[in-house]
Amino acid sequence: MLLLLATVAPASAGTLDRVRDQGVFRIGYRTDAVPFAYNNPSGQPTGYVVDLCRAVAADLKRQLRLANLKVDYVPVTAENGFAAVRDGQVDILCGPTTQSLARRGLVDFSLMTFIDGASVIYRKGGPLTFTGLAGHKIGVRAGTTTEKELRALLAERGIKAEIVPVEDHKRGFDRLAKGEFTAYFADRSILAYMLSNDPRLGDLLLSDQYFSNEPYALVLPRGDSDFRALVDGTLARLYRSGEIERIYAASFGRATPNPALRALFMINSLPE
């Protein structure tokens, strides 16, 4: 890792230069996206993607020879995270963030970190099909690609349902459990994790259907190729060494990576 990075010349006024000069690395993270990025009961940033960003910070510290590198964790939302990277408020965005062609016009993305897709939790005793949601209230996290895709899918299929954006997944899940929503949409891994840790399991049903493709990646400042090389080098090393298995287990417990995710790790295990 160090040998590869030593051959990369830092970009003028890029992230590596700024971190070297100021001794601070700013990680933007979502506080509500369990198990990818959230605050634990002690209020500390945690989650699968947060751990990936911690590995990036460790490599930065070694590469730049900064014994006292300070890591600042900056809470962001689904709505303002991209602007925070674009405007230089944070150096990297850590969360279940889907890369898209439109978003590439604002920021850059690392190697993929996860692959998922939007799905839905239904209330038992109510409609258990997508078309059956006509005339019902559907919850979704505001400002996400899932909200955009849900609206497009309902329009495409001519299903008239009321979409209710919520501030965070916990609030959406609570409203679903109380019967205020007939269904709640989010990335399936998030839904599965929330459902497995909720005592109201018997009243809710997670669909096996995927409604979208969500390729996650870390969000980086646009045009900073040297910083991206460092981040991609960190991720490739984690995948190649198998360290990613420990990081995955720390957030997902006994669940094992699905075949698509294992293929992602293998494909992105780039050699030095």
Mean pLDDT of 146-158: 93
pLDDT score for 199? 72
- Residue 246, pLDDT > 90, answer yes
- Residue 82, pLDDT > 60, answer yes
Q: What CATH number belongs to 118-206?
A: 3.40.190.10
CB 222 within 8 A of CB 108: yes
pLDDT score for 6? 34
Domain with CATH 3.40.190.10 in the chain: 2-116+215-267, 118-206
Of all residues in the chain, what percent carry a pLDDT higher than 90? Answer: 73
pLDDT band at 190 (very low <50, low <70, confident <90, very high): confident
Over residues 115-137, the pLDDT tens digits come to 988 999 999 888 999 999 999 99
- Residue 7, pLDDT > 60, answer no
Tally of CA atoms within 13 A in the half-sphere of 25 that contains its CB: 26
pLDDT band at 170 (very low <50, low <70, confident <90, very high): confident
Mean pLDDT of 202-211: 87
- Mean residue pLDDT of the chain comes to 90
Reply yes or no: is the peptide bond before residue 41 cis, omega within 30 of 0.
Answer: no
User: Of 125-134, 144-153, 192-201, where does mean pLDDT reach its minimum?
Assistant: 192-201
- Residue 2, pLDDT > 50, answer no
Token representation of residue 11? 């970009």
CA separation for the pair 246, 251 (Å, rounded): 9
Mean pLDDT of 62-90: 95
Q: Hey, which of 29-33, 94-98, 230-234 has the most confident mean pLDDT?
A: 230-234
pLDDT band at 151 (very low <50, low <70, confident <90, very high): very high
Find all residues with CB under 8 Å of 214, minimum gap 6, and list them. Answer: 96, 98, 115, 116, 117, 118, 145, 146, 187
- Residue 10, pLDDT > 80, answer no
- Residue 11, pLDDT > 50, answer no
Give Cα 19 to chain centroid, integer Å.
24
- Residue 74, pLDDT > 80, answer yes
CA separation for the pair 216, 241 (Å, rounded): 21
List, edge to edge, every strand of the sheet that includes 37-39.
32-33, 37-39, 45-46
Protein fold of 2-116+215-267: D-Maltodextrin-Binding Protein; domain 2 (3.40.190)
Amino acid identity, residue 204?
A: L
Greatest alpha-carbon pair distance for the chain in Å reads 61
3-state secondary structure the chain: CHHHHHCCCCCCCCHHHHHHHHCEEEEEEECEECCCEEECCCCCEECHHHHHHHHHHHHHHHHCCCCCCEEEEEEECCCCHHHHHHCCCCCEEECCCECCCCHHHCCEEEEEEEEECEEEEEECCCCCCCHHHCCCEEEEECCCHHHHHHHHHHHHHCCCCEEEEECCHHHHHHHHHCCCCCEEEEEHHHHHHHHHCCCCHHHEEECCCCCCCEEEEEEECCCCHHHHHHHHHHHHHHHHHCHHHHHHHHHHCCCCCCHHHHHHHHHCCCCC
Find all residues with CB under 8 Å of 225, minimum gap 6, and list them. Answer: 11
CA separation for the pair 94, 253 (Å, rounded): 20
pLDDT band at 259 (very low <50, low <70, confident <90, very high): confident
How many other CB atoms are there within 10 angstroms of residue 87's CB atom? 10
pLDDT score for 197? 76
pLDDT score for 125? 85
pTM value?
0.79
pLDDT score for 254? 76
Mean pLDDT of 150-169: 94
